[in-house]
Structure 1
Amino acid sequence: MTDKRMVTEQAASAAAPYNAATSYAKLVKAYPFIKIAGTHTSAETSTIGGIGYARRGAHLLQLDLYLPAQARRNQAPLAAVVLVHGGGWRSGERANMAPLAARLAARGIAAAVIDYRLADEARYPAAIHDVKAALRWLRANSAAHGIDPQRIAVAGGSAGGQIASLAGVTNGMPTFDPDAAGNAVSSAAQAVINIDGLSDFTSPAARANEDDPHKKPSAAGFWFGGGYAEAADLWREASPTFYVNPRTPPMLFIGSAQPRFAVGRDDMVAKMTAAGVATEVVMLPDTPHSFWLFEPWIDPTADAIAAFLHTHIPTTTRQAP
Structure 2
Amino acid sequence: MRAQLPSLTGVLLALGLAAPLAVQAAGCVEPAPDPNNTYDAERTYSKQVRRYPFIHIASAAVPSNVRVVRDQTYVRYGSRCLKLDLYLPAQAPRGGTPVVVLVHGGGWNAGYRSEFVPMALRLAQRGYAAATISYRLAGEAGYPAAVDDTRAAVRWVRRHAERHGIDPQRIALAGGSAGAQVAGLAALTADLHGFDPHARDGTVSSAVQAIVNVDGTVDFTTEESRRHDNEPGKPPSPAAVWLGGRYAEKRAVWHAASPINYVRRGMPPILFIGSSQARFQSGRDEMVTRMAARGAVARVVLLPDTPHSFWLFDPWLQPTVDATVGFLDENLGR
Once structures 1 and 2 are overlaid, which stretch shifts more, 304-313 or 14-23?
14-23
Structure 1 residue 212: Cα displacement: 3.5
Matches within 5 A, 1:249-268: 249-268=268-287
Match of 1:48 in 2: 69
1:286 and 2:315 are equivalent in the alignment = no
Structure 1 residue 76: Cα displacement: 3.0
- Cα 1:297–1:310 shift into 2, 3 Å: same
- Give the aligned length: 304
Structure 2, gaps ≥5 residues long:
5-34
Once structures 1 and 2 are overlaid, which stretch shifts more, 225-234 or 12-21?
12-21
Match of 1:95 in 2: 114
- Normalised to the residue count of structure 1, the TM-score between the two structures is 0.91
1:226 and 2:245 are equivalent in the alignment = yes
- Normalised to the residue count of structure 2, the TM-score between the two structures is 0.88
Partner deviation per Cα, 1:45-77 (whole Å, 9 max, x = no partner)? 110110000012332000000001222xx6331
Structure 1 residue 43: Cα displacement: 6.2
Distance in 2 between residues matched to 1:11 and 1:46, nearest whole Å: 38
Match of 1:6 in 2: none
Asked if the contact 1:205–1:260 (Cα under 8 Å) also holds between the matched residues in 2, the reply is: yes
Asked if the contact 2:142–2:244 (Cα under 8 Å) also holds between the matched residues in 1, the reply is: yes
State which of 162, 169, 173 in structure 1 corresponds to 2:181.
162
Q: Equivalent pairs: percent with the same residue? A: 51
Asked if the contact 1:66–1:110 (Cα under 8 Å) also holds between the matched residues in 2, the reply is: yes
- Cα 1:262–1:55 shift into 2, 3 Å: same
Distance in 2 between residues matched to 1:22 and 1:213, nearest whole Å: 28
Matches within 5 A, 1:303-318: 303-315=322-334
Q: CA RMSD in A?
A: 1.5
Structure 1, gaps ≥5 residues long:
1-9, 316-321
Asked if the contact 2:3–2:237 (Cα under 8 Å) also holds between the matched residues in 1, the reply is: no
Distance in 2 between residues matched to 1:211 and 1:56, nearest whole Å: 35
Distance in 1 between residues matched to 2:248 and 2:39, nearest whole Å: 28
**Helix, strand or coil: the match of 1:230?**
coil
1:119 and 2:142 are equivalent in the alignment = no
**Helix, strand or coil: the match of 1:138?**
helix
Match of 2:85 in 1: 64
Distance in 1 between residues matched to 2:299 and 2:78, nearest whole Å: 39
Query: Which structure has more RCO (C-alpha within 8 Å, separation ≥ 6)?
Result: 1
Asked if the contact 2:67–2:88 (Cα under 8 Å) also holds between the matched residues in 1, the reply is: yes
Structure 1 residue 256: Cα displacement: 0.3
Structure 1 residue 183: Cα displacement: 1.2
Distance in 1 between residues matched to 2:165 and 2:232, nearest whole Å: 49
Matches within 5 A, 1:175-186: 175-186=194-205
- Cα 1:53–1:125 shift into 2, 3 Å: same
Partner deviation per Cα, 1:159-207 (whole Å, 9 max, x = no partner)? 0011111111112223432111131100001000100001000111110
Match of 1:136 in 2: 155
Structure 1 residue 39: Cα displacement: 2.1
Asked if the contact 2:36–2:110 (Cα under 8 Å) also holds between the matched residues in 1, the reply is: no
Distance in 2 between residues matched to 1:193 and 1:211, nearest whole Å: 29
Match of 1:5 in 2: none
Asked if the contact 1:54–1:130 (Cα under 8 Å) also holds between the matched residues in 2, the reply is: yes
